[in-house]
């Protein structure tokens, strides 16, 4: 491997794939100057693992959103119309995977991914970066893009006070692989969270014979997409981009997403299961304490003085569908960057320049960390396309190269 490279991309998921295809469309000569780093050594491995783990049958995004700047998914799906789900032709998981495989082959990207975990990112004075790999190798890169998707698992505060537990009986959604679970017949599973993951896990647990209790600290929010389609274009983005107050932008993002949500067809399935007693909803409810007693969890609700809620219901398992950490200061690769290039953070989100570049250096961020610039759909497939519109010019045009700054 070349130990001095031009563009290092950390992560090989859908947004990284989108970035590389768009870079090569704009400037094919960049092919020999790009290196993608991912522990798997292959494209989309983490994406495939997550979809398989939660047995997600189809995407939440419409089929018009995908990583290829030229080919459409609909042309590819010509003989596979049954795998496009209404409304908005949302592609089946296998269809989307197969399409991405053709994208990887058409753009000849298989050899771009290096099987390595980046464990340290150090800005150097020569306006370069040193990347330390998990095999102790070091690489220098002139420009770096972090495209690793969500952060580390986010846990409710009460979890830190749990006295003792069977680790397989208190799990974050990121640790659960439904196909590997035993038969859950006769078990009660408490799922905490109110987003898509909680719904997929609930359906998977019921399928394996469990009774499921779904607890959410708010009323379950039913939405087809996690933000209105108007956020994909100028309808809402024009006003968002015109807003100069970053705190107001954050409020606009929060209002647009209105917390997490569940797609209508999933919520309909769960409501049907609740009528047969296989699922029970506990909305506007939060755990205050959980204790492992004998072979089950005893759980107390924060409002136990108002209602008994879960007090007399022993739980065999607790699954935490409580999301991921989106505070950039908690990102394992950002410590030295934050020290050398202090930056304004708004509720953990960084203020980046118009090209999604960290002020003062050639580090670019995609995914949830680009939300203050891209908007509420930053973490989605189309958010990846919108991020490319900003990053690609800065990586392909000499006139937009970083000027040595403050």
- Tell me, what's the pLDDT at 404? 41
CA distance 211 to 190: 9
- The pLDDT value recorded for residue 58 is 98
- At the fourth CATH level, the homologous superfamily of domain 157-223+258-320 is FAD/NAD(P)-binding domain (3.50.50.60)
Ranges of the chain with pLDDT below 50:
403-406
Note the pLDDT of residue 165: 62
* pLDDT score recorded for residue 306: 62
Q: Mind listing the pLDDT tens digit for each residue in 331-343? A: 999 999 999 999 9
Domain locations along the chain = 4-152+325-400, 157-223+258-320
pLDDT value of residue 127: 84
pLDDT at residue 304 in the model: 65
What class is the 4-152+325-400 domain? alpha beta
């Amino acid at each position: 491997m070349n130990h001095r490279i031009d563009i290092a991309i950390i992560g090989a998921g859908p947004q990284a794939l989108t970035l590389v295809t768009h870079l090569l469309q704009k400037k094919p000569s960049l092919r020999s100057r790009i290196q993608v780093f991912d522990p798997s050594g292959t494209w989309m491995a983490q994406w495939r693992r997550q979809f398989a783990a939660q047995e997600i049958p189809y995407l939440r995004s419409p089929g018009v959103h995908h990583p290829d700047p030229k080919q459409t998914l609909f042309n590819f799906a010509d003989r596979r119309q049954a795998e496009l789900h209404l409304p908005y032709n949302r592609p089946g998981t296998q269809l989307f995977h197969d399409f991405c495989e053709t994208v990887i082959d058409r753009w000849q990207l298989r050899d771009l991914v290096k099987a390595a975990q980046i464990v340290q990112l150090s800005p150097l004075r020569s306006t370069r970066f040193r990347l330390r790999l998990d095999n102790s190798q070091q690489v220098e890169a002139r420009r770096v893009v972090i495209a690793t998707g969500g952060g580390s698992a986010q846990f409710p505060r009460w979890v830190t006070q749990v006295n003792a537990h069977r680790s397989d009986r208190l799990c974050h959604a990121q640790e659960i692989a439904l196909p590997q679970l035993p038969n859950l017949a006769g078990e009660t599973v408490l799922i905490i969270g109110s987003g898509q993951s909680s719904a997929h896990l609930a359906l998977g647990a019921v399928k394996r014979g469990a009774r499921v209790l779904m607890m959410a600290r708010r009323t379950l929010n039913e939405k087809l997409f996690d933000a209105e389609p108007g956020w994909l274009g100028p309808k809402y983005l024009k006003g968002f981009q015109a807003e100069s107050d970053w705190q107001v932008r954050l409020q606009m993002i929060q209002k647009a997403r209105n917390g997490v949500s569940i797609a209508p067809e999933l919520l309909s399935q769960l409501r049907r299961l609740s009528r047969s007693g296989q699922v029970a909803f506990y909305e506007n409810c939060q755990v205050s304490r959980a204790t492992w007693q004998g072979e089950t969890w005893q759980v107390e609700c924060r409002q136990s003085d108002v209602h008994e809620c879960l007090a007399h219901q022993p739980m065999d398992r607790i699954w935490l569908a409580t999301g991921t950490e989106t505070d950039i200061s908690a990102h394992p690769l950002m410590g030295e960057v934050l020290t050398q290039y202090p930056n304004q953070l708004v509720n953990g989100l960084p203020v980046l320049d118009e090209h999604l570049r960290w002020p003062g250096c050639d580090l670019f961020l995609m995914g949830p960390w680009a939300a203050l610039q891209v908007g509420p759909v930053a973490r989605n497939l189309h958010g990846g396309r919108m991020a490319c519109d900003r990053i690609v010019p800065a990586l392909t045009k000499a006139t937009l190269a970083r000027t040595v700054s403050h």
